[in-house]
C-alpha cells in the first residue's frame, strides 16, 4: 500500500467530516430562535451523568425534528430520509473511486453499488434507523439519566443490526442462485449467522468500502450519544477555555451555544483521528 496515499485518504476524510459538522452547526445556529438558544445554553449548564437530561426533549428532539419533521410517517420524513440515503450512497461511491485511484485497486468489483442493493437495502435500513432514533429521543424525555439513554440506544442498535444481517442474508442467498422461496430458516440458523457476522465484523474493522452501508445503522445511535457527550464536554471545556482569548470567540455557551457544541465536536473528532492514525496505517499496510 502507498503510505502517503493512505494518509491523504485519512486526512481527507477528517477534513470532510469536520467541515460538514461545522457547516451543520453553523447553519442551525443561524436559523434558530433566541428562545431555542437559551434552552441549549441551559441544557449545557445543567448536564451531568446523574441528571443530565435537563431540557433534552427540547434540545435533541429540536435538532432532529428541524430536519426530519415532527412525524415519522410523513412525506417530509420519507423525503429527507431518502436524501440522507442518497448522500450516504454517494459518499460510498466517492470513497471507492478515490481509494481505487490512490491504492490502484481498479480490479475490484463494483457490483456492490448496483441499484438493486441500494434501493432494496439502504433506503429500508435508513428509514428504519430513523424510526429507531426518533423513538429513542421520545423515550429520553422521560429519563434524565444519560447512562440509561446510552444503554437503551445501544441495545436497540444491536436489534437493528441483527435485522439488517437477516435481510442481507436473504439477499445474499438470492444472489447465490437460491430462490427466496426456497430459503430455509435452518440454513440461516446453522453456520451462516456466525460466519456472516464475522464476515461483516472484518469488513467494518478494516474500513472496507463495501461495508460502509453498515455504518448507517449506527449513525442514529452515535448521534444521540455524540450530542449528550458533546454537551458534557462543552460544559467542562467552556470553563477552561474562558481563560484563553483564542477560544473566547468560538466557545461561548451564553451567546453561541450551538456553535460551541460544534467547536467541541471538532476538537473531539480531531483528537480521535490523531489517536486512530497509527491503527489505520497498520491495518492498511
Q: What one-character-per-residue DSSP string does 148-162 give?
A: HHHHHHHHHHHHHHH
CA–CA distance, 32 with 37 (Å, rounded to integer): 7
Length of the chain counted residue by residue: 285
Q: Cell numbers at residue 221, please?
A: 445511535
Banded pLDDT at 187 (limits 50, 70, 90): very low
Residues 166-173 have a mean pLDDT of 61
The answer on pLDDT for 18 being more than 80 is yes
Residues 81-93 have a mean pLDDT of 66
Q: Is 84 exposed, middle or buried (0-12, 13-18, 19+ CB in 10 A)?
A: buried
* Residue 252 φ/ψ, nearest 5 degrees: -140, 95
202-225 CB burial, b ≥16 within 10 A, e <16 = eeeeebebebbbbebbbbbbebbb
Per residue in 114-165, pLDDT (tens digit) is 545 555 556 666 777 777 777 777 776 666 666 676 677 677 767 766 766 6
Of the chain, the percentage scoring pLDDT greater than 90 comes to: 0
Q: Cell numbers at residue 19, please?
A: 467541515
Banded pLDDT at 45 (limits 50, 70, 90): confident
pLDDT value of residue 19: 81
Per residue in 106-121, pLDDT (tens digit) is 444 444 445 455 555 5
Residues 184-191 have a mean pLDDT of 44
Banded pLDDT at 181 (limits 50, 70, 90): very low
pLDDT value of residue 245: 63
Residues 160/129, Cβ–Cβ less than 8 Å: yes
User: Which of residues 55 and 126 earns the better pLDDT score?
Assistant: 126
User: Which of residues 269 and 65 earns the better pLDDT score?
Assistant: 269
pLDDT value of residue 92: 59
Of 13-17, 73-77, 185-189, the range with the lowest mean pLDDT is 185-189
The answer on pLDDT for 235 being more than 80 is no
CA–CA distance, 170 with 183 (Å, rounded to integer): 8
For helices 56-68 and 123-140, the axis angle rounded to 10 degrees is 160
- Sequence spans of domains, the chain: 3-283
Q: Helix or strand or coil: residue 252?
A: strand
The answer on pLDDT for 48 being more than 50 is yes
The answer on pLDDT for 238 being more than 50 is yes
The answer on pLDDT for 68 being more than 50 is yes
Measured distance between the N- and C-terminal CA atoms of the chain, rounded to whole angstroms: 6
Residues 258-264 have a mean pLDDT of 83
pLDDT value of residue 84: 67
The answer on pLDDT for 178 being more than 60 is no
Pick the most confident of 66-70, 176-180, 231-235.
Answer: 231-235
Amino acid at each position: 500500500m502507498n503510505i502517503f496515499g493512505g494518509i491523504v485518504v485519512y486526512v481527507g476524510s477528517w477534513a470532510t467530516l469536520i467541515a460538514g459538522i461545522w457547516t451543520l452547526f453553523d447553519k442551525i445556529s443561524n436559523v434558530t430562535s433566541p428562545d431555542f438558544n437559551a434552552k441549549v445554553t441551559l441544557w449545557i449548564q445543567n448536564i451531568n451523568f446523574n441528571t443530565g437530561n435537563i431540557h433534552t426533549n427540547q434540545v435533541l428532539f429540536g435538532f432532529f425534528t428541524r430536519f426530519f419533521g415532527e412525524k415519522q410517517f410523513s412525506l417530509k420524513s420519507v423525503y429527507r430520509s431518502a436524501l440522507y440515503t442518497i448522500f450516504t450512497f454517494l459518499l460510498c461511491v466517492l470513497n471507492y473511486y478515490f481509494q481505487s485511484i490512490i491504492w490502484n485497486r481498479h480490479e475490484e468489483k463494483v457490483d456492490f453499488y448496483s441499484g438493486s442493493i441500494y434501493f432494496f437495502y439502504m433506503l429500508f435500513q435508513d428509514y428504519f434507523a430513523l424510526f429507531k432514533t426518533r423513538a429513542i429521543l421520545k423515550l429520553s424525555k422521560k429519563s434524565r439519566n444519560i447512562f440509561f439513554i446510552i444503554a437503551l440506544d445501544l441495545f436497540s442498535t444491536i436489534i437493528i443490526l441483527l435485522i439488517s444481517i437477516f435481510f442481507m442474508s436473504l439477499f445474499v442467498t438470492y444472489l447465490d442462485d437460491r430462490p427466496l422461496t426456497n430459503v430455509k430458516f435452518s440454513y440461516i440458523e446453522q453456520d451462516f449467522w456466525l460466519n456472516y457476522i464475522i464476515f461483516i465484523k472484518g469488513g467494518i474493522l478494516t474500513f472496507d468500502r463495501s461495508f460502509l452501508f453498515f455504518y448507517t445503522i449506527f449513525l442514529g445511535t452515535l448521534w444521540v450519544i455524540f450530542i449528550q457527550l458533546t454537551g458534557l464536554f462543552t460544559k467542562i471545556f467552556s470553563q477552561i477555555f474562558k481563560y484563553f482569548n483564542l477560544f473566547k470567540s468560538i466557545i461561548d455557551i451564553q451567546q453561541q451555544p450551538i456553535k460551541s457544541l460544534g467547536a467541541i465536536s471538532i476538537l473531539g473528532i480531531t483528537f480521535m483521528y490523531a489517536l486512530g492514525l497509527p491503527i489505520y496505517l497498520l491495518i492498511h499496510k
